[in-house]
Amino acid sequence: MRITSFREDWPPGPGRRRLVDFVRSAVLILVLSWFLVPRAQAACAAEGLSVFPAPGSVVPTNTRFLLEGVGALADKVAALPGRILRLQSSGHEVEVRIQRGWTSSLGRSTVVLRLAGPLRAGQSYTLRLDDVLPGVKVLNGGGTTAPEWISGRGQDVARPRWLQRPAVREGISRRTRDGSERFVKLSMSLLEDSPAYVLVTLSTRQGDMTSQHYITPLQNGVALVGHDACSGAFALEEGKSYRAKLEVFDAAGNTAPAVPPLLFEAPVGIREGR
């Protein structure tokens, strides 16, 4: 590269060479920074969409779905209540009404998809998300724009039963390459065949914060309360004391017996992670 932003004969001799070397080094640093910074930011997805129960799973014929938008899609999902979707199989179609759900302060929104009628047993159904969100891919559905499920043998009308009531298992606080993340793991066990979810109402024990209401899936007996480096369901302040009221329900909306609130402190001591 030829430097032409100053006179060719100034400064003379070795001074001119040092100046040229300096400018070239500065340009090289700027170019490298331009390439490296976007790669670091790309680790945090700007937007995403998930559907629960997860696409590909077997669901009761009276199931309902939860649709979650993250990041740039959170506002779009939050604006969907009142719209209509279609759930289709070979020779059968069910209308799906979108109802208001929950919104997180950390860039997440969830709406409830309620069927207007039951599914037919033992069929493959496809949700036509393109009707309301054209071209948007489902992250937990392998990137498809038309997630599918298999309907089970019939309706789920039984309430989930507790095998182990909720308890605080552990706290996780760490720093990753994308930023800080902080979670509290809640453990519990249910007698329930279909997927289950935990609606958490979180408040501080001091009462100095507006309550947070959001949903989190129960996976392998664990529900996570907190946030990662990019977004999250709940904002946790390091070392602060919280009270979590839990409402647990299955894929058909049947609720488990009520349980006492859990008390915990948000984890401290961020350590280096991946």
Q: Residues 46, 108: contact at Cβ < 8 Å?
A: no
Q: In CATH terms, are 47-151 and 161-272 the same topology?
A: yes
* Host H or E run for residue 77: helix 74-78
Q: Give, for all 274 residues of the chain, the pLDDT tens digit.
A: 443 443 444 455 555 555 545 545 554 444 343 333 333 334 565 578 999 999 999 999 999 999 999 988 999 999 999 999 999 999 999 999 999 999 998 889 999 999 999 999 999 999 999 999 999 999 998 889 999 999 999 999 999 999 999 999 988 877 777 667 888 999 999 999 889 999 999 999 887 778 999 999 999 999 999 988 777 889 888 889 999 999 999 999 999 999 999 999 988 864 444 4
CATH 2.60.40.10 fits 161-272, yes or no: yes
User: What residues contact residue 38 under an 8 Å CB cut-off, 6+ apart?
Assistant: none
CA neighbor of 98 nearest in space, from 76, 72, 120: 76
CATH code, 47-151: 2.60.40
The dihedrals phi and psi of 39, each to the nearest 5 degrees, come to -65, -40
Instruction: Give the strands of the sheet with 241-250, arranged side by side.
Output: 212-218, 196-204, 241-250, 262-265
Confirm whether pTM is higher than 0.85: no
Q: How many CA atoms lie within 13 A of 163 on its CB side?
A: 7
Tokens read off for 46: 């700007």
Q: What is the CA radius of gyration of the chain?
A: 25
What pLDDT was estimated at residue 5? 42
Strands (E), 147-240: 148-151, 161-176, 179-191, 196-204, 212-218, 222-227
Sequence ranges of the domains in the chain:
47-151, 161-272
Q: Residues 57, 95: contact at Cβ < 8 Å?
A: no
